[in-house]
Each structure stands twice: as structure tokens, then as C-alpha cells.
Amino acid sequence: MRLARTMSAVAAGAALTLALTACGGEGAGSGSGDGAAGNGDEEVKVGVAMPTQTYERWIQDGNNVKEGLEGLGYTVDLQFANDDIPTQTQQIDAMITAGVDALIVASIDGTALTSQLDAAAAANIPVIAYDRLIRDSENVDFYTTFDNYAVGVAQANALLRGLGVLDADGNETDEKGPFNIELFAGSPDDNNSHFFFNGAMDTLKPYMDSGVVSVPSKQTEFDQVATLRWELETAQSRMEDLLTSTYSGGEELDGVLAPADVLSRGIINALQGAGMGPTLEEGLPVVTGQDAEIANIKLINDGVQSSTIFKDTRLLAEQAVKATESFVNGEEPEANDTETYDNGVKVVPSYLLEVQTVFAEDIAPVLIDAGYYTAEEVESGQTAD
């Protein structure tokens, strides 16, 4: 089974005794380790709340975290909420009532869990925000994620490279355009969406100011380009509307900044439906992405999608497991960022992971050689498990 293969390093790494540095967290579960933390032979129960099973990556995240925790001998309650906020709040309420020793939460809406986190704090249950920052609460003890601003920078640079403005080393070429692009952002209730967009726009702005790239629709503000709940259908519909409203007079669209693979697929559906492509060589605009979902890796391999950002969620799961083990042992997890992620009430101690940009030539060295996908999975666009 593929998940068992990819999580072997997680379970092994998380089982080691860690020499951890203090990160200054003051929420539930920090400090002396009294209360919920497991001791000795006592059973340790961990609640893992994931947003949805609609997208491949969240299934992998949930199962990877579960297997890593079970590798430590913990009992795990893994729940998926189908992108429904009341469902997720009820699931977390039930975990708290059941007396879990720690919570790992990838929130649907980062502002909707205040009462649940208050209840967790009252029960001395540490809360680890997983990939998505939980906002407006002092009771977020730790945050495991990727460098989300860097994701946006990488997406913008990938778009510029796809257009020919940058070469493979990230250096500027002699290409001055002008190129017409359109912008998409993630869900407004996902804190990461803002980091992605800000990183991308800070990178693109000099090229927009110089006229190398332009946005004919004039939709350049986050609120204008956000995609609620990261829905494929919403992205496809907006792209169709943009093609009708802005490009029906023969204007050429050269590229689209798409912040996630699920949106990329919707955008590509709209572009191909309008008669563009079907491949990059045949005139399909450059489309970026994120998450390295297997369906999109096939699109990149087939010359349809230009690039994606690979976030190795095996490593993210490993960090969540390590943080949980630290809290259970009455320690504080190691943080490598204690300044960036202000949730509106406190700066949450965080562990940030690096990301990699994947073009067609990177599929083998970055994904296949690392055991994330097999060549057969890339060819079929489906995972074997």
C-alpha cells in the first residue's frame, strides 16, 4: 500500500527522542505537561481533523498523520468534514468530549473554531494547526506548515518561466512581452491563500509595472480573484466568464496564475473548452499550480499544465507527529519561525517546510526518485492504492 511505503520514515523519525528548543508558546498544553499529556503506559489518544476527502492531498495528509501517530503506539481518531464547517466543529467537539490528549486540526475556516479551542484549553488539550493557521484564538499551541509566502513567490516565478521571461535558473531573459495574464487566488477563509497571493503579487509587480505582463481584466485584488472553498467548478466558471468578457475580441491570453492544482484543472477545462490548446505546444496558456496532485502531474507530463509546487506532505505529517509527541511528553515542539504567523491574537510558534517547483523535467528526480509517485502512476494519472 502506497501510504505505508511513504510513511515509514515518518514513524521512524517521530519515534526518536528529540532535543527540542523552547518556542515560547503559552496556550493549552504548553508548560509543565500536567493534565492531558500521556504518561508511562497510559493510552494516548489524538484527534485529527481534516477538511475534506474531496482532494487527494487531504486524504494523504490524514492517513500519513494517522500512521505516524500509530507508529508511536497512539490511538487516533481521524475525521474528514467534507468541507462543511458545522461538521468539523461537531467532530472536534466530540474529540474533546472523548478526552483526546492532543488535537491536530486542518481547518476549513480558520476563524470558526474559537469555542472548540476554548474547550480544548479548558481541558488542557494542546492544539496543533496543520497547514492552515487557526485564527483569532490564543489557544493555538503550534503550527506546522510550509513557507506559504515562498509558495506564492515560486508560483509567480514558475509563471514567468513558463512565459519565457525567466530561464530555468531564475535569471531574466531578453523576453519583454508584453504578456497577458489572469490571476486566481485561494479561498478567502484559508489564511494560507493570502500568503500565496501576496508572495505571487510581490514577485509579479515589477513586471506588471514595467509592462512585461499585464492583466487585461484589471482584476488584481485578492477579493476579486479569490475562489471560495478552493472549488474547481468556481474556478472554471470564473475563467469562462473572463474569456467571454475580456478575450472575446481576439485578445490573446498567455498565462494564468493558479494557486492550487484543483483550480488548475478547472481553469484548463475552461481554456480547452474555449478551443485553446489542447497542449502548451499547441497554444494552451501557461497555467501554474500547487500540491503536485497525481492528476496534475500527468497533465504536466503530457504537456498540458506548465508547473506545480510540490509540498512533501510526508514531511508535514512527520512534523505534526513530532510536535504531538513533544506535547504528550510535556515538552515544547521545536519551532523554526516565531515571528511570521500572527493569528490576530498571538504569534503562533511554527515549523516551516520548504517547497519545490516541478516542471515536466522535474517529475522524475523530484517525485519518482523520491518515492512519492511511481512512473506508472504518473503515466496513468492515478495512484495505485
Q: What is the pLDDT of residues 311-347, one digit of tens each?
A: 999 999 999 999 999 999 999 999 999 999 999 999 9
CATH number of 2-140+313-353: 3.40.50.2300
Q: Looking up cell 474559537, which residue turns up?
A: 114
What pLDDT score was predicted for residue 171?
A: 97
- Answer whether the bond into residue 188 is a cis peptide, omega within 30°: no
> What confidence tens digit (pLDDT) does each residue in 17-48 have?
333 333 333 333 333 333 344 445 589 999 99
Per-residue pLDDT, 56: 84
Predicted pLDDT at 213: 98
The number of C-alpha atoms within 13 Å of 194 and in the hemisphere containing its C-beta is 11
Amino acid of residue 213: V
Query: What integer pLDDT is reported at residue 21 of this predicted model?
Result: 33
Gap between the Cα atoms of 289 and 258, Å rounded: 5
Q: Does domain 148-311+359-368+372-380 have CATH number 3.30.465.10?
A: no
Place 96 in a pLDDT band, splitting at 50, 70 and 90: very high
- For the residues 297-321, what does the mean pLDDT come to? 97
Q: Which residues of 251-282 are buried (b: 16+ CB within 10 A; e: fewer)?
A: eebbbbbbbbbbbbbbbbbbbeeeebbeebee
Q: State the Cα–Cα distance between residues 138 and 36, nearest whole angstrom.
A: 18
Say how far apart CA 65 and CA 341 lie, in whole Å. 22
| Distance in angstroms (rounded) separating the CA atoms of residues 345 and 132 | 16
Using pLDDT thresholds of 50, 70 and 90, give the confidence band for residue 384: confident
- The whole-chain average pLDDT of the chain stands at 90
Tell whether the model's pLDDT for residue 14 goes beyond 90.
no
CB 384 within 8 A of CB 338: no
Same topology for domains 2-140+313-353 and 148-311+359-368+372-380, yes or no?
yes
CB 83 within 8 A of CB 107: no
pLDDT in tens, 204-226: 999 999 999 999 999 999 999 99
The answer to whether residue 155 scores a pLDDT higher than 50 is yes
Q: What integer pLDDT is reported at residue 113 of this predicted model?
A: 96
| Residue entry with cell 491536530 | 104
Residue 12: what pLDDT?
Answer: 38
CA distance 46 to 95: 8
Q: What's residue 250's pLDDT?
A: 87
pLDDT for the residue numbered 41: 58
In the chain, where the domains are located:
2-140+313-353, 148-311+359-368+372-380
142 exposure class (CB count in 10 Å sphere: 0-12, 13-18, 19+):
buried
pLDDT at 42: 80
Q: How distant is the alpha carbon of residue 15 from its chain centre? A: 25
Is the confidence at residue 91, as pLDDT, over 90?
Answer: yes
Report which secondary-structure segment, H or E, holds 88.
Answer: helix 85-97
Q: Using CA atoms, how far apart are residues 80 and 58, in angstroms rounded to an integer?
A: 9
Residue 31 confidence (pLDDT): 35
Mean pLDDT of 100-110: 96
pLDDT over threshold 90, residue 307: yes
- Rounded-to-integer distance, Cα 252 and Cα 368, Å: 35
Distance of CA 149 to the CA centre of its chain: 11
Cell numbers representing residue 236 in the block: 472554471
